[in-house]
A and B are shown apart, each in its own frame.
Chain A
Amino acid sequence: MSAALSVRELVVGYGGAPVLRGVSFDVDEGTVVALVGGNGAGKTTLLRTVSGLLTPSAGSVHLDGEDLARVGVEDRVRRGLAQVPEGRGVITELTVEENLRLGGLWRRDPADLRAALAEMYALFEPLERRRTTLGHQLSGGERQMLAIARALVARPRVLLLDEPSLGLAPLVVAQIMRVLRELCDRTGLTVLLAEQNVAGALSVADHGLVLALGEVVASRPAAELAGDEALRHAYLGF
């Protein structure tokens, strides 16, 4: 299995204070990799660097073998890298349908875009009933579904998800995780899932990475990580 996303020796800091200290890992095509760790571990910084919002002081990010160092955020999207940011990132002043259309900006064929929207409404049924509703009128769960659906409209090869379960009811989280897992199995989508909800993330992931103080301290199959009591106590707090 080839790596869809490769991160090598990534070093990122804010104002001289290092947040990521030489992070390296691969995400194989068609797999879900859970990136877990406590508050301040560097998960969000890592995703923002992979998507291009932050510039690393050292190291590299490769998408399907291509070095993204000189590729801007907007062009990374066109190459198949999508991110659902922390806090969902729904544009609350736009309707559900307008948010979804934004995800499909690069589909030149209107019929193709319509098909993608129909597919998302089928995947996330509550959104179809609320297609003309403004983002700020949606529930937390609906906003998360919309943010994920919007990213999927672009048909990305790699999807970065930052804390999708934050503030959501367990049932909604389970529904979202199930949809993601099905998508990966059916379409070959690759997912890097940053989560504080360790048990939930590892339950759908193929592989797990534990990030602590800006370093990868463990990289193992998800089931193995979930069963390692010593590691869970030391780094994950449960």
Chain B
Amino acid sequence: MDRFVFLLGTGLARGTLFALFALALVLIWRSTRIVNFAAGAMAIVGVYVGVAVTGLTGSYWLGLLATVLAGGLVGLVVERGLLRFASARSPLSGVILAIGLVIVLQSLLGIAFGQQHTPVRAPFDDRPVQVGGVPLLSPYDVFVVVVALGLMAALRLLFVRTTLGLQLRAAAFEPEVSRLLGVRVARMRTVGWVLAAAAASLAAMLAVPKELGLNPHAADMLFVYAFTVAVVGGLDSPGGALLGGLTVGVVMSLVTGYLGATLTPVAVLALLVVVLLVRPSGLFAAAEARRA
């Protein structure tokens, strides 16, 4: 039972990270119908900036802030400079541009910083705290969960409670009607890309200390799992991203703990295949897509 509780806790903590990254994919998908295959590479650019700022200032918190700001800036540049010109008539053109961007960004990062893994230290202890002899989450896991859930809650408030959020949703659902109401749809798409890229960079920054370290490909697996989460939850559903993230995180943790790490990717793939066969729109899409 102790083992189960520990695996469940770490699975939920990991799941919130997947959920945050998946939310970035959902935001882009909802507003542009593009699966942003460049999300991982874009996020890592922000992480490199954040790690550099931490190195220069000695402050993890300034580095974290710089990660978010740099991630948002990357989103702005990519949308304004590249993906805005993707043909709306061909969803494939956006996907191809995004894949091309992955190659360019990872090559440039490799040239600038090298391909080696650079260790990134967590700001808190990463060893699980024992409660009554049962190992639970580490302080860093708690920090990750609080930050990820906090940001998702803030985004939810933005979308549901503010005029900007209303315009973002309207522009995503009905671009032409929104223009007829005075919504600047192109600007809303840019805002959506900035928010999504900033959230993805934050998720990557939080994930890196728990992985092998920082390198140009450090967010590749995070992207793969987050993409699975987005599909499982429903690509149109921000709420589905959270629930899907927690589901995938727990499945991965339990499979790793009970069956071994080599079977984890297989389990995730199996979950993806089952969802696509049984409910292609995602487990949580039907209810959520009609809400915010």
Cβ contacts A141-155/B at 8 Å (1 or 0 each): 000000000100010
Q: Does A115 lie at the interface of the complex (its beta carbon under 8 Å from any beta carbon of B)?
A: no
For B30, the closest partner residue in chain A by CB is A93
Contact A98 B180 (CB under 8 A): no
Q: How far is the CB of B288 from chain A (nearest CB, A)?
A: 10
Cα–Cα distance between A51 and B174 once the two chains are bound (Å): 16
Q: Is the interface of B mostly helix, strand, loop or mixed?
A: helix
Contact between chains at B290 and A136 (CB < 8 Å)? yes
How many residues of chain A have a CB within 8 Å of chain B? 24
CB 8 Å contact bits of A189-233 with B (1 = contact, 0 = none): 000000000000000000000000000000000000000000000
In the complex, whether B117 has a CB less than 8 A from a CB of chain A is no
* A13 on interface, CB distance cutoff 8 Å: no
Residues of chain A with a CB closer than 8 A to B176's CB = 53, 85
A93-B169 contact given A134-B290, A136-B290, CB 8 Å threshold: yes
Cβ of B228: which chain A residues have Cβ within 8 Å of it?
Answer: none
CB of B214 closer than 8 Å to a CB of A? no
Residue-wise, chain B 153-185 has the 8 Å CB interface mask toward A (1 for contact) of 000000000010011011001101111111110
**Size range of the interface on B?**
10 to 19
Contacts of A74 in B (CB 8 A): 179, 182-184
> With an 8 A cutoff between CB atoms, is A130 at the interface?
no
Contact present for A154 and B180 (CB under 8 Å): no
**Do A94 and B170 have beta carbons less than 8 Å apart?**
yes
Using Cβ atoms and an 8 Å threshold, which residues of chain B touch A103?
181
In chain A, residues 74-115, which have Cβ atoms closer than 8 Å to a Cβ of chain B? Answer: 74, 77-78, 82-83, 85, 89, 91-94, 98, 101-103, 105-106
Smallest CB separation, A149 vs chain B (Å): 12
A-B contact pairs, 17 of them (CB 8 A): A51-B180, A53-B179, A73-B179, A74-B179, A77-B180, A77-B182, A82-B180, A91-B177, A91-B178, A93-B289, A94-B169, A102-B166, A102-B170, A102-B181, A105-B183, A134-B291, A154-B181
